[in-house]
């Protein structure tokens, strides 16, 4: 038990650091300047100015029904890390709310707030956790409207939050700054997790392909294709699994493969264009 705890401790410390960085980005730059960059934190920022509600507590309260609904509708086991990251983020936001904003310059706030938030989220994603929020909301809605991809739903939810904030604050220029913040955050996340390309194709060569593919289908909610391969040195037939993933899913995929077959061979390649279920955009070239 002690050995298991010590092995997991560095991951939880990094998740804690990630939550703290997000909180600093919000309290030092985004919240003081009314920049609601999508997600539940954006809604929390709007409610803070309307009703003086603590942003962290508001985010936590909104996450609770999302977790419960997701558990009921999707049957998802979120894991301790995601629950920990969600709670720690809320505590970190309210715990650092006493800090004064560092600047009133909107451009600097967008730049540094987005960078800190992206770095924090990247660290959390890289340690196989999420902070709940709009990811869960998009997954729930996708269950009932499967013809709309999760990526499109995430974009729609963030856009609605940005538009709502602009209408409440009656400063429509803030919507443009919030959009830039979302872009910066996303790019930083991508860079930390797997590099500058947003989408990757993972190939797994393993004799435990059935167990690995089953877990990838259930836990990552991504399609998996089995290709037929043959080792030219041994002459043995070996299945090759192929799966197109978002950056945030790659640490989880590696964990699944490692747990099922430590001797599996994995290689990941850049994907320049993806069209189809779950993907409907063109990553940067």
Residue 150 has pLDDT above 70, yes or no: no
Residue 51 has pLDDT above 50, yes or no: yes
Position 238 confidence tier, pLDDT thresholds 50, 70, 90: confident
Residue 283 has pLDDT above 50, yes or no: no
Helix (H, G, I), strand (E, B) or coil at 155: helix
Residue 281 has pLDDT above 60, yes or no: no
Q: What is the pLDDT of residue 249?
A: 85
Residues 72 and 106 in one domain: yes
Give the pLDDT mean for 6-26.
Answer: 93
Quote the Cα angle for 179-81-220, to 5°: 70
Q: What is the pLDDT of residue 284?
A: 38
Residues 189 and 124 in one domain: yes
Helix (H, G, I), strand (E, B) or coil at 63: helix
Residues 133 and 223 in one domain: no
Count Cβ atoms within 10 A of the Cβ of residue 97 and give its class: 0-12 exposed, 13-18 middle, 19 or more buried: middle
Q: How many C-beta neighbours within 10 Å does residue 147 have?
A: 7
Residue 274 has pLDDT above 50, yes or no: yes
Domains in the chain: how many in total?
2
| Cα distances (angstroms) measured from residue 153 to each of 158, 185, 219, 278 | 9, 18, 19, 10
E strands, 118-197, where? Answer: none
Of the candidates 169, 193, 217, which is a domain's last residue?
193
Quote the Cα angle for 145-150-156, to 5°: 90
Residue 22 has pLDDT above 60, yes or no: yes
pLDDT above 90 coverage of the chain, percent: 51
Give the pLDDT mean for 20-49.
Answer: 95
Of the candidates 193, 213, 233, which is a domain's last residue?
193
Residues 185 and 276 in one domain: no
Residues 179 and 210 in one domain: no
The pLDDT tens digits of the residues spanning 204-231 come to 999 899 999 999 998 888 889 999 888 8
Sign of the Cα pseudo-torsion (21, 27, 29, 35, in order): positive
The mean predicted confidence, pLDDT, of the chain is 86
What range defines the domain where residue 78 resides? 2-193
Q: What is the pLDDT of residue 126?
A: 85
Of the candidates 168, 193, 218, which is a domain's last residue?
193
The pLDDT tens digits of the residues spanning 153-210 come to 888 888 999 999 999 998 889 999 999 999 998 888 877 876 554 578 899 999 899 9
Residue 75 has pLDDT above 50, yes or no: yes
Position 5 confidence tier, pLDDT thresholds 50, 70, 90: confident
Q: What is the pLDDT of residue 221?
A: 82
Residue 76 has pLDDT above 70, yes or no: no
Q: What is the pLDDT of residue 285?
A: 33
Residues 144 and 225 in one domain: no
Tokens read off for 6 = 């010590």
Tokens read off for 224 = 């998996």
Residue 240 has pLDDT above 70, yes or no: yes
| Cα distances (angstroms) measured from residue 221 to each of 115, 150, 172, 191 | 28, 10, 37, 23
Q: What is the pLDDT of residue 77?
A: 54
């Amino acid at each position: 038990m002690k050995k298991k705890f010590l092995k997991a401790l560095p991951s939880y410390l990094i998740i804690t650091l990630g939550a703290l960085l997000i909180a600093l980005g919000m309290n030092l730059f985004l919240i003081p300047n009314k920049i609601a960059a999508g997600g539940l934190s954006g809604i929390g920022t709007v409610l803070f100015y309307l009703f003086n509600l603590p942003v962290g507590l508001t985010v936590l309260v909104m996450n609770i029904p999302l977790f419960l609904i997701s558990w009921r509708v999707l049957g998802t086991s979120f894991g301790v890390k995601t629950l920990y990251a969600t709670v720690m983020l809320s505590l970190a936001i309210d715990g650092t709310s006493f800090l004064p904003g560092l600047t009133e310059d909107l451009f600097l706030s967008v730049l540094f707030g987005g960078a800190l938030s992206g770095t924090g989220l990247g660290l959390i994603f890289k340690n196989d956790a999420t902070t709940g929020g709009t990811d869960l909301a998009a997954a729930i809605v996708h269950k009932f409207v499967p013809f709309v991809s999760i990526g499109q739903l995430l974009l729609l939810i963030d856009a609605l939050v940005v538009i709502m904030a602009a209408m409440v604050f009656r400063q429509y220029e803030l919507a443009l700054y919030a959009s830039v913040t979302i872009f910066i955050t996303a790019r930083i996340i991508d860079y930390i997790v797997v590099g500058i390309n947003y989408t990757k194709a993972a190939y797994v060569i393993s004799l435990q392909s059935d167990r690995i593919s089953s877990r990838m289908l259930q836990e990552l909610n991504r399609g998996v294709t089995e290709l037929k391969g043959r080792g030219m040195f041994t002459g043995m037939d070996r299945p090759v699994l192929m799966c197109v993933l978002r950056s945030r899913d790659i640490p989880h995929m590696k964990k699944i493969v490692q747990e099922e077959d430590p001797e599996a061979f994995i290689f990941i390649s850049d994907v320049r264009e993806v069209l189809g279920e779950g993907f409907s955009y063109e990553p940067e070239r």
